[in-house]
Structure 1
């Protein structure tokens, strides 16, 4: 898993609440199996 994804999961867990960090982070980081890059900036290389 990408570091960015794990960092996001950690952040969501820290906030707490009744949420699924993996679902949220998958959406926000575009990590695997999402509808590709709708409104997401592609990584600059």
Structure 2
């Protein structure tokens, strides 16, 4: 693996990490809502 390939991999992983943390925040937000909201939707 060349240095450039290593950098590309790192950048891709970092981008994925951000995406996953955003997704986790979204899921946590949904889970932490009161149960009544689920019944309404």
**TM-score w.r.t. structure 2 length?**
0.38
Larger radius of gyration: 2
Flag the structure with more relative contact order, 1 or 2, with Cα contacts below 8 A and sequence separation at least 6: 1
**TM-score w.r.t. structure 1 length?**
0.35
Greater helix share, 1 or 2? Answer: 2
